[in-house]
């Protein structure tokens, strides 16, 4: 039975993302598993979260850590059994938490039976994938050149020549992840059955991996301006396919989120407007590219905060105006840790004082926005990038590919490592820091990837119950979203802060008909500046006079200049006030 989520339900829910491989290992093999998650349900319940999104645990050769699925309706033995899964669903449910699964429907692994049958010559399954002749091929056996100049996400051509097929196959990600052909109705039906299979096992929601890449262009041609992304993101039939999937799988009204790569606002409004019966909300990534140099992830730059403010404003106010709904997040398993990224100094070496201020400021910044917040494992503890000393400590296929690409382009090993240190997806994949025991208490064995060196200082054990710790602060963030209707249901409006505060993001949450005893207007101020600054709210119809401070990352309130009303914010200061 599926529950229809209202906007109030979505606005008061908080989702916690579990990267299963690094969350908790119950059997000492160095890899997290379902029983490990089960053992931490009390911790998650105390945090107050409503849904647990678990990253893929399906059988997989693990070339892309499980996003290369070889069987959609089974569990990889390294993660446990179907009984473990059913028990986890029931136990989470008993604690008021729903399980959300990660559906990787844009591509399979090469090891999937469908691709294997295609390779063996079965034409029915060859029609499941996107196979093309090479450019300039003289006929059978001659690959010619790749059909288009499109690049895959992890570096290199998006096409691979497969001699057994006598064709090139499209893979927008790793070479081991052939894209499925969604123009084939049988593929769409099979995938809807997969979603229904898990729904019938009690799953309460779904995250859909790169779901806006499922509809490829009608004509395959070179991208004359870039690497192809703009041609296959939000493709011609994507909305139609999504509506059909949602309808067939019977998941309309459930909590669903689409990962939207290189998307735009207009499409995300359509993906998430309830009347369109597609998804409940969307992840977009523009705010996490503000420290790319010229749009290139592998070129370091300081975060451009005015740009960040502009992006948040566009997506908050734009989704609201269009009737869409945002998923709010800083971190996930594909991103370096935001606390290291926006902390002013990068890497794992943040000094104590700003580490704590930055983490709490980032938490305030997104948790009070309109939408549904996601907490990525360890974010609530203030986990940072690990700053590994050698490329050999990295595991991720993308990091390894780009390290090589950077060396080939002339960077020294030290320069290339520095970039990987800041940009690797492994920055977010280090073992969860449960305590001060070896490997942060994640495993009794050898972890598949090394723990960040600060685990003795940043961990759940030392933060538990400590007033002012990051963990307690995150519990408060979750509580306030549920308590304050202006946060779950209110309108959002960004406010100008004047020239003295170029690195401050400020917005209002307003609920004119808030019931007695609830604030009608909240003001949120977040400084991304490692220097003090002066916020001038004179342009907005806002006064801090008689305002009540609800939350902040300093012990006391900032000083307000009586004459001008300007607020003096300290480095990385953030606060939430209820306006009179």
- The CB-of-233 to ligand NOJ minimum distance in angstroms stands at 13
Q: Which is closer to ligand NOJ, CB of 104 or CB of 449? A: 104
Under rule CB under 6 A, which residues in 511-550 are in contact with ligand NOJ? Answer: none
Under rule CB under 6 A, which residues in 232-271 are in contact with ligand NOJ? Answer: 259
| Candidate list 259, 334, 379, 422, residue with the active-site label | 259
Among 37, 78, 104, 525, contact with ligand NOJ (rule: CB under 6 A): 104
Under rule CB under 6 A, which residues in 480-499 are in contact with ligand NOJ? Answer: none
Which residue's Cβ has the minimum distance to ligand NOJ? 67
Among 50, 179, 334, 463, contact with ligand NOJ (rule: CB under 6 A): 334
- The CB-of-268 to ligand NOJ minimum distance in angstroms stands at 17
- Could you tell me if 336 and 388 are in contact, meaning their C-beta atoms sit under 8 angstroms apart? no
- The CB-of-208 to ligand NOJ minimum distance in angstroms stands at 10
Distance between CA atoms of residues 12 and 409, nearest Å: 48
- The CB-of-476 to ligand NOJ minimum distance in angstroms stands at 29
Say what angle helices 238-249 and 185-200 make with each other, to 10 degrees.
Answer: 40
- The CB-of-67 to ligand NOJ minimum distance in angstroms stands at 3
- The CB-of-153 to ligand NOJ minimum distance in angstroms stands at 7
Is residue 50 a contact residue for ligand NOJ (CB under 6 A)?
no
Binding mask 285-324 for ligand NOJ (x = CB under 6 A): ----------------------------------------
Residue (of 44, 145, 93, 65) closest to 426 by Cα position: 65
Question: How many CB atoms within 10 Å of residue 161?
Answer: 17
Residue (of 558, 567, 440) closest to 497 by Cα position: 567
Q: Which is closer to ligand NOJ, CB of 259 or CB of 278? A: 259
Half-sphere exposure of 184 (CA within 13 A, CB side): 17
- The CB-of-20 to ligand NOJ minimum distance in angstroms stands at 12
Strand pairing report for 281-283 and 255-259: parallel
Backbone angles phi, psi at 401, to 5 degrees: -60, -50
Six token digits for residue 570: 């300290």
Distance between CA atoms of residues 2 and 91, nearest Å: 18
Distance between CA atoms of residues 199 and 232, nearest Å: 29
16 three-class SS: strand
Is residue 64 a contact residue for ligand NOJ (CB under 6 A)?
yes
Residue (of 482, 341, 451, 539) closest to 50 by Cα position: 482
Q: Which is closer to ligand NOJ, CB of 209 or CB of 278? A: 209
| Candidate list 25, 38, 209, 379, residue with the active-site label | 209
Is residue 173 a contact residue for ligand NOJ (CB under 6 A)?
yes
- Could you tell me if 376 and 338 are in contact, meaning their C-beta atoms sit under 8 angstroms apart? no
301-322 CB burial, b ≥16 within 10 A, e <16: eebebeebbbbbbebbbbbbee
Under rule CB under 6 A, which residues in 117-136 are in contact with ligand NOJ? Answer: none
Is residue 67 a contact residue for ligand NOJ (CB under 6 A)?
yes
Note if 530 is an active site residue: no
Residues that bind ligand NOJ (rule: CB under 6 A) add up to a total of 9
Is residue 110 a contact residue for ligand NOJ (CB under 6 A)?
no
Q: Which is closer to ligand NOJ, CB of 67 or CB of 402? A: 67
- Could you tell me if 480 and 550 are in contact, meaning their C-beta atoms sit under 8 angstroms apart? yes
Q: Which is closer to ligand NOJ, CB of 85 or CB of 329? A: 329
- Could you tell me if 458 and 384 are in contact, meaning their C-beta atoms sit under 8 angstroms apart? yes
- The CB-of-458 to ligand NOJ minimum distance in angstroms stands at 24
452 burial type by CB count under 10 A (0-12 exposed, 13-18 middle, 19+ buried): buried
Q: Which is closer to ligand NOJ, CB of 190 or CB of 543? A: 190
Beta strands in 442-531 (DSSP E): 491-494, 504-510, 521-527
Beta strands in 422-497 (DSSP E): 491-494
- The CB-of-64 to ligand NOJ minimum distance in angstroms stands at 5
- The CB-of-170 to ligand NOJ minimum distance in angstroms stands at 14
Is residue 400 a contact residue for ligand NOJ (CB under 6 A)?
no
Binding mask 130-169 for ligand NOJ (x = CB under 6 A): ----------------------------------------
Distance between CA atoms of residues 459 and 108, nearest Å: 36
Distance between CA atoms of residues 102 and 104, nearest Å: 6
Distance between CA atoms of residues 426 and 406, nearest Å: 17
Q: How many residues does the chain have?
A: 580
- Could you tell me if 106 and 172 are in contact, meaning their C-beta atoms sit under 8 angstroms apart? yes
Residue (of 157, 54, 169) closest to 119 by Cα position: 169
Q: Which is closer to ligand NOJ, CB of 69 or CB of 566? A: 69
Q: Which is closer to ligand NOJ, CB of 104 or CB of 578? A: 104
Distance between CA atoms of residues 26 and 350, nearest Å: 31
Is residue 337 a contact residue for ligand NOJ (CB under 6 A)?
no
Binding mask 209-228 for ligand NOJ (x = CB under 6 A): xx------------------
Binding mask 4-43 for ligand NOJ (x = CB under 6 A): ----------------------------------------
Q: Which is closer to ligand NOJ, CB of 50 or CB of 334? A: 334
First to last CA, the chain: 43
Note if 209 is an active site residue: yes
- Could you tell me if 278 and 242 are in contact, meaning their C-beta atoms sit under 8 angstroms apart? yes
Q: Which is closer to ligand NOJ, CB of 161 or CB of 285? A: 285
The residues of the shown chain that bind ligand NOJ, judged by CB under 6 A, are 64, 67, 104, 173, 209-210, 259, 333-334
Enumerate the active-site residues. Answer: 209, 259
């Amino acid at each position: 039975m599926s529950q229809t989520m209202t906007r109030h339900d979505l606005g008061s829910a908080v989702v916690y993302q579990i990267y299963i491989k690094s969350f908790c290992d119950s059997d000492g093999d160095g890899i997290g598993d379902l029983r490990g998650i089960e053992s931490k349900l009390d911790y998650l319940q105390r945090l107050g979260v409503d849904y647990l999104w678990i990253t893929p645990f399906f059988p997989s050769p693990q070339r892309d850590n499980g996003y290369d699925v070889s069987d959609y309706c089974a569990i990889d033995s390294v993660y446990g059994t179907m009984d473990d899964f059913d028990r986890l669903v029931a136990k989470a449910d008993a604690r008021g938490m729903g399980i959300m699964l990660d559906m990787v429907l844009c591509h399979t692994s090469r090891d999937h039976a469908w691709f294997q049958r295609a390779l063996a010559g079965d034409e029915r399954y060859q029609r499941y994938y996107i196979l093309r002749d090479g450019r300039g091929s003289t006929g059978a056996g001659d690959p010619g050149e790749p059909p288009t100049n499109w690049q895959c996400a992890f570096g290199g051509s998006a096409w691979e020549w497969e001699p057994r097929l006598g064709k090139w196959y499209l893979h927008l990600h790793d070479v081991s992840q052939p894209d499925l052909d969604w123009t084939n109705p049988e593929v769409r039906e099979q995938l809807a059955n997969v979603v229904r299979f898990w729904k019938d096992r009690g799953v309460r929601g779904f995250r859909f991996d790169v779901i806006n890449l499922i509809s490829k262009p009608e004509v395959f041609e070179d991208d004359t301006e870039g690497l192809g992304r703009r041609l296959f993101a939000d493709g011609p039939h994507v909305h139609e396919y999504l509506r059909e999937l949602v309808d067939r799988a019977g998941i309309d009204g459930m909590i669903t989120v689409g990962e939207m790569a290189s998307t735009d606002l207009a499409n995300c409004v359509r993906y998430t407007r309830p009347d369109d019966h597609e998804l409940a909300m969307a992840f977009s990534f523009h705010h996490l590219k503000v420290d790319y140099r010229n749009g290139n992830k592998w070129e370091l730059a300081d975060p451009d905060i005015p740009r960040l403010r502009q992006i948040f404003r566009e997506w908050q106010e734009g989704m609201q105006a269009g009737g869409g709904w945002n998923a709010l997040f800083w971190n996930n398993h594909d991103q370096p840790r935001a606390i290291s990224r926006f902390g002013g100094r990068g890497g794992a070496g943040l000094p104590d004082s700003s580490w704590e201020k930055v983490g709490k400021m980032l938490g305030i910044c997104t948790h009070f926005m309109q939408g549904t917040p996601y907490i990525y494992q360890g974010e609530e503890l203030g986990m940072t990038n690990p700053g590994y000393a050698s490329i050999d400590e990295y595991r991720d296929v993308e990091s390894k590919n780009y390290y090589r690409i950077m060396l080939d382009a002339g960077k020294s090993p030290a320069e290339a490592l520095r970039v990987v240190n800041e940009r690797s997806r492994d920055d977010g994949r280090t073992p969860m820091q449960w305590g001060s025991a070896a490997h942060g208490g994640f495993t009794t064995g050898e972890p598949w990837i090394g723990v960040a060196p600060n685990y003795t200082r940043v961990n759940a054990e030392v933060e538990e119950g400590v007033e002012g710790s990051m963990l307690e602060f995150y519990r408060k963030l979750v509580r306030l979203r549920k308590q304050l209707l202006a946060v779950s249901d209110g309108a959002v409006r960004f406010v100008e802060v004047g020239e003295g505060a170029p690195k401050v993001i400020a917005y209002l949450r307003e609920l004119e008909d808030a019931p007695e005893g609830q604030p009608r207007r909240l003001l949120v101020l977040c400084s991304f500046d490692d220097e003090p600054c002066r916020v001038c709210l004179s342009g907005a119809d806002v006064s801090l006079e008689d305002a009540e401070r609800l939350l902040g990352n300093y012990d006391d309130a900032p000083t307000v200049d009586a004459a001008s009303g300007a607020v003096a914010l300290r480095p990385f200061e953030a606060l939430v006030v209820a306006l009179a």
